[in-house]
């Protein structure tokens, strides 16, 4: 049996039934990482001792007949913007290359309390700023479906790890699509919950009003199980919501009969056939399993990208001001006065994309431009949220593409920031509105054997009302069981 190919439920049941020990499961994954990750480069830092210590605790509990956590023995990867006590956390940046946190993120604490075994920290765009994982300060991650292509971003390392069986599930962060877009490009499932559903305590901030932590998995049940563990109010995060957390796994089986699925015309105008055709087949499948398709409109969608990149960069410029060489992280070895130390430290420690976003955000917040840019963007954000509220009066979920393109080649868009930003065109609206979203595989592109282009994964995005993750997961699960992941 290949222990690395099992989904979460299979892995959990195997460990509980003593079909394999948690230690055997962890060792199988570490062996595969050592063998395969040299070409994929999903991980920045491994933590084998930590994973094996947790596995030993799980195996003792199994032997003693003790109650087991929901994720007992399950190998997990964690994006390197989520802090882990005693394990290097770099945010994909040279400025934090040697930073070892003294505490765990709330999500990490909850994972390990449930028995999960953390294998290591995954590569990402620096401070989660990017859509391809090429902006990492260390190296690019490769898409397991075609090593010449990107895995998406900024959580590309986590998506690639799950797609390549280098972890059973993984945590990522999503600010404008950074879980959903790489999930689509790597052919796995990825979930961003409602803003406030999962504590951000220990998530290194990019844009605080937009940041989320969420899971990747190879099945919808994987996502439901992980969300069940990490969701809920956290006193260390004032933005986490005191909203009851349903039993997501048990509600998966409730079905989707008579569910109303909204199709927004704005997301399909100009969509290429290689992405549009699999999405249309996915919508047809939802109809065949009992859903009713309803056209909806989200009229302010065209303003979303501009709105997002003003708000996100403004918040980033504020959040990244703390990296100055004084308190922690890298400090330039040679400098004159204090101002010179700041400048040299930030110049050497930050990459080009982070510098670009700091500059954009500082400009948007500067005297004379705040009202023209940042304040106006916040007003547009309110209009986008209103669009969704109106649409959800008539439908239960909304279906869109996740990405306008399949995985592109490494380096193809590196010199064109605008084209890179447009990779998030279908995901930023949900982020700005605070609603939950999930991306699930819905087939592949045709590929072109003559040109050496393989079939590439296509993702379908489902959106729901605030704190309605249960319905979102139930819809995605019904789609998966009907064969939707294979494009049936």
CA-to-CA dists, residue 387 to 266, 296, 382, 424, angstroms:
12, 10, 9, 19
The residue with tokens 């990867």 is: 77
Q: CA 56 to CA 21: how far, in whole Å?
A: 9
Q: Is position 318 annotated as part of the catalytic site?
A: no
Closest CA to 461 of 231, 227, 265, 183: 183
Residue 154 is among the residues annotated as catalytic for this protein: yes
Among 154, 173, 240, 403, the one annotated catalytic: 154
Structure tokens at 190: 């990825």
Among 21, 47, 79, 93, the active-site one is 79
Active-site residue, selected from the candidate residues 178, 199, 433, 439:
178
User: Between the CA of residue 415 and those of 129, 134, 316, 357, 421, what are the distances in Å?
Assistant: 15, 11, 21, 15, 12
Tell me the sheet residues that pair with 118. 76
- Sign (positive/negative) of CA torsion 108, 166, 40, 185? negative
- Determine the Cα–Cα distance for residues 161 and 4; give it in Å rounded to an integer: 11
Q: Which two tokens stand for residue 49?
A: 């001792």
Largest CA distance in the chain: 70
Pairing state between β 43-46 and 260-264:
unpaired
Tally of CA atoms within 13 A in the half-sphere of 352 that contains its CB: 6
Indicate if 79 belongs to the active site: yes
DSSP string, 106-145: HHHHHHHHTT-EEEEEE--SGGG--SSSTT-SS----BTT
Catalytic residues: 79, 154, 178
């Amino acid at each position: 049996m290949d222990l690395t190919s099992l989904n979460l439920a299979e892995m959990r049941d195997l460990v509980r039934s003593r079909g394999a020990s948690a230690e055997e499961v962890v060792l199988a994954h570490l062996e595969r990482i050592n063998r395969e990750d040299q070409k994929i480069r999903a991980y920045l830092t491994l933590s084998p001792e930590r994973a094996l210590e947790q596995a030993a605790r799980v195996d003792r509990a199994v032997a003693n007949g003790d109650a087991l956590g929901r994720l007992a023995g399950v190998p997990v990867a964690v994006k390197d913007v989520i802090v882990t006590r005693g394990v290097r956390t770099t945010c994909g940046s040279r400025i934090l290359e040697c930073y070892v946190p003294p505490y765990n993120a709330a999500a990490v604490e909850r994972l390990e309390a449930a028995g999960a075994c953390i294998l290591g920290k995954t590569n990402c765009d620096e401070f989660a700023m990017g859509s391809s994982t090429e902006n990492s300060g260390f190296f690019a991650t490769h898409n397991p479906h075609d090593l010449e292509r990107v895995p998406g971003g900024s959580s590309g390392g986590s998506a690639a790890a799950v797609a390549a069986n280098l972890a059973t599930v993984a945590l990522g962060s999503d600010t404008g699509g950074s879980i959903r877009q790489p999930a689509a490009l790597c052919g796995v499932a990825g979930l961003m919950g409602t803003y406030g559903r999962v504590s951000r305590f220990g998530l290194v901030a990019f844009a605080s009003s937009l940041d989320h932590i969420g899971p990747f998995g190879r099945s919808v049940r994987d996502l439901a199980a992980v969300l069940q563990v990490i969701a809920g109010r956290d006193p260390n995060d004032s933005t986490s919501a005191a909203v009851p957390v349903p039993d997501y796994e048990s509600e998966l089986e409730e079905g989707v009969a008579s569910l109303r699925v909204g199709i927004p015309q704005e997301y399909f105008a100009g969509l290429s056939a290689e992405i549009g055709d699999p999405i249309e087949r996915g919508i047809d499948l939802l109809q065949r399993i009992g859903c009713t398709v309803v056209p909806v409109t989200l009229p302010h969608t065209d303003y979303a990208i501009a709105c997002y990149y003003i708000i996100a960069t403004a918040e980033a410029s504020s959040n990244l001001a703390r990296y100055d060489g004084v308190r922690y992280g890298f400090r330039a070895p040679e400098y004159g006065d204090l101002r010179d130390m700041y400048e040299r430290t930030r110049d050497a420690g930050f990459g080009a994309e982070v510098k670009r976003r700091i500059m954009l955000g500082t400009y948007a917040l500067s005297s004379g431009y705040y009202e023209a840019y940042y304040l106006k963007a916040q007003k547009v954000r309110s209009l986008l949220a209103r669009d969704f509220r109106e649409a959800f009066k008539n439908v239960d979920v909304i279906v869109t593409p996740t990405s306008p393109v399949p995985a592109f080649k490494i380096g193809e868009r590196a010199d064109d920031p605008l084209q890179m930003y447009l990779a998030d065109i279908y995901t930023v609206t949900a982020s700005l509105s605070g609603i939950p979203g999930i991306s699930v595989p819905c087939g592949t592109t045709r590929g072109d054997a003559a040109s050496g282009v393989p079939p590439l994964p296509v993702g379908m995005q489902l959106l729901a009302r605030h704190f309605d993750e249960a319905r979102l997961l139930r819809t995605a699960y019904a789609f998966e069981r009907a064969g939707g992941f294979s494009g049936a």
